[in-house]
Structure formats: C-alpha cells, structure tokens
C-alpha cells in the first residue's frame, strides 16, 4: 500500500521487532492514574429518545380544580428509573396524561401532553418547560387557588404542578431562605398579629371572632388575612399594609426595602 508523503524528510529510523512488542504492550496496559470507575462510565444510562418504555412506570397524580372550568383536571406524570440499584440511579419524567370531563378542552390537552411527553423522552434539561408554561396568561383573567396563590391560567397551574413534581424527584430545588430572612418574615407576621389582636376594650367581645376571621387559614396551612393583596414577587395574597408600607407576610418583601 503506497503512502504519499507531502513534507520534506529530515531523517528516518528503523523500528525493530523488539520495539514493536514494547509499544504494543504499553498501549494495552491501563493507565495507572485512571479511576476504577472509568471502565464502567460507558454503562451509565442517560435519558434519550431511543429508550423504550418499560412495562411499569412510577408516577404521581395531581388534581387541578379551577373556577374557570366546571370539572376538575387530573394530571398524571409517570417517571422512568434509570440505572436502578446503582449509585447512578436517576428518576426522570417520561410521560404525562391529563383527564377531565371537560371535553371542550380535549384538543389542546392532547396536543400539550404529547408535546410535553416528547420533550421528556428527548432527555437533557427539561426544566425550561416550567417557566414557559407558568408565563401563559388567560385573556379572560386568572384565578386564586387554595393558599391565595395567583394562577394566570390553567396552563400556568399545570406548569406549577410540573415544577412541584420535578422538585420531588430532585431535578429542581427551592432556593433556601437565609436565617435572617426567615427571622424577618416571622417578625413581620408577629407584628401584624399583635396589631390586629389589640382592639379597644369596648369591642373586646367581638375581637376574637374578628381576629380569627382576619387570619383565615389557607389551603397550604399558612395564615394570611383575606383582605391582603397579591405580592408580585411570590404571587401570593399576603401583602398587607404595615406602618404605611406594603409588606408580604409570605416572602418578606417590603416596598420600603
């Protein structure tokens, strides 16, 4: 077999059979500094679209009850477990289904779930779906779900459910509040409760009932007054007026800084 040499030859050397044997042995020997798990690195399965659906998947079902529709929506997200029983075990979303008696939404529900399932099976970073869906607004207006959290649309609440599910399997993480921030929120809530719990003596008989009504327990266990407005930072009806300054009793946001 002819080999074309395009550069000028400056020297040459003859490779002996002994040198060939030494080179072959050196190339076959493993590197001394290579980690022991390097040989198994190729065996780690990552999420990709060629993975076939197993017969059994694990998942969760969530309920959406919106005032915009007559019947509730039931959202089921199924996950696939990759590398089970090993230190590289991963749980990743594989498919999503939405069931409801509201047939007027059938077309866009089927289209949305098929697209979402295709994105899940594609692999990679699928967390972008959360922000895209939560940014969808209904032209008729949104609604408040249990707990006083504002939802701009049904699609946005579906995005919120996907966010909660991704957090439960470890794909998303909540930003941790600093101890100072937690202390500030607790102090603001205590100040508000102390202020609403100290009425004049003449109306003391009715104060207890009024106070219980003012601090109604919401769906998620937090107590915010029904008269509170929505905080644009955490989208929760927990913004109250304290000392002439709008303050959020949920996230600690203050208009005055």
| Three-state SS annotation for the chain | CCCCCCCCCCCCCCCCHHHHHHHHHHHHCCCCCCCHHHHHHHHCCCCCCCCCCCCCCEEEEEEECCCCCCCCEEEEEEEEEECCCCCCCEEEEEEEEEEECCHHHHHHHHHHHHHHHHHHHHCCCCCHHHHHHHCCCCCCCCEECCCCEEECCHHHHHHHHHHHHHHHCCCCCCCCCCHHHHHHHHHHHHHHHHHHCCCCHHHHHHHHHHHHHHCCECCCCCECCCCCEECCCCCEEEEEEECCEEEECCCCCECCC
Indicate whether 125 belongs to any domain: yes
Taking only the tens place, the pLDDT of each residue in 37-57 is 544 556 788 888 889 999 999
The band of 177, judged by pLDDT with boundaries at 50, 70 and 90, is low
Q: 183 and 146, same structural domain?
A: no
Percentage of the chain beyond pLDDT 90 is: 32
- 106 and 143 together in one domain: yes
Domain boundary among 168, 188, 213: 168
Q: State whether 67 and 144 are in the same domain.
A: yes
Domain containing residue 119: 58-168
pLDDT band at 222 (very low <50, low <70, confident <90, very high): low
pLDDT at 60 over 90: yes
Q: Are residues 142 and 113 in the same domain?
A: yes
188 shares its domain with 109: no
Residue 9: pLDDT band (50, 70, 90) is: confident
The Cα–Cα gap between 138 and 152 comes to: 6
147 and 243 belong to one structural domain: no
Confidence at residue 238, expressed as pLDDT on a 0 to 100 scale: 77
Q: Mind listing the pLDDT tens digit for each residue in 110-154?
A: 999 999 999 999 988 999 999 999 999 999 888 888 777 889 999
State pTM to two decimals. 0.60
Is 71 a residue whose pLDDT tops 70? yes
Say which residues have a Cβ less than 8 Å from residue 112's Cβ, sequence separation at least 6.
98, 155, 158
11-36 exposure pattern, b = at least 16 Cβ within 10 A, e = fewer: eeeeeeeeeeeeeeeeeeeeeeeeee
Q: Which of 168, 194, 219 is the last residue of a domain?
A: 168
- Regarding whether 124 and 156 lie in a shared domain, the answer is yes
Measured between its terminal Cα atoms, the distance across the chain in Å is: 79
C-beta pairs of 231-239 under 8 Å, 24+ apart in sequence: 235/149, 235/150, 236/147, 236/148, 236/149, 236/150, 237/144, 237/148, 237/149, 237/150, 238/148
Q: Are 107 and 136 in contact (CB under 8 A)?
A: no
103/162 same-domain check? yes
Percent of the chain, pLDDT > 70? 81
Residue 173 placed within a domain: no
> Which of 146, 168, 190 represents a domain boundary (last residue)?
168
pLDDT at residue 23 in the model: 74
Q: Are residues 188 and 164 in the same domain?
A: no
Mean pLDDT of 29-39: 50
């Amino acid at each position: 077999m002819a080999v074309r040499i395009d550069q000028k030859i400056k020297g040459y050397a003859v490779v002996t059979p002994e040198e060939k044997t030494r080179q072959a042995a050196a190339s076959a020997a493993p590197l001394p500094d290579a980690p022991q798990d390097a040989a198994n690195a190729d065996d780690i399965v990552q999420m990709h679209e060629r993975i076939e659906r197993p017969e059994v998947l694990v998942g969760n079902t969530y309920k959406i009850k919106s005032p915009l529709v007559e019947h509730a929506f039931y959202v089921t997200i199924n996950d696939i477990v990759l590398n089970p029983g090993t230190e590289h075990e991963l749980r990743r979303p594989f498919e999503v289904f939405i069931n409801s008696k509201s047939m007027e939404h059938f077309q866009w529900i089927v289209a949305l779930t098929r697209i979402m399932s295709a994105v899940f099976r594609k692999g990679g970073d699928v967390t972008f779906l959360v922000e895209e869906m939560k940014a969808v607004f209904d032209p008729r207006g949104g609604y408040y779900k249990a707990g006083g959290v504002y939802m701009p649309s049904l699609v946005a609440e579906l995005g919120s459910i996907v966010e909660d599910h991704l957090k439960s399997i470890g794909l998303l993480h909540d930003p941790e509040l600093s101890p100072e921030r937690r202390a500030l929120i607790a102090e603001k809530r205590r100040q508000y409760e102390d202020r609403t719990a100290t009425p004049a003596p003449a109306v003391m008989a009715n104060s207890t009932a009024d106070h219980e009504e003012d601090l109604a327990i919401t769906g998620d266990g937090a107590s915010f007054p029904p008269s509170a407005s929505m905080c644009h930072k955490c989208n929760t009806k927990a913004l109250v007026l304290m000392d002439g300054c709008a303050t959020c009793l949920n996230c600690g946001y203050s208009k005055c800084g």
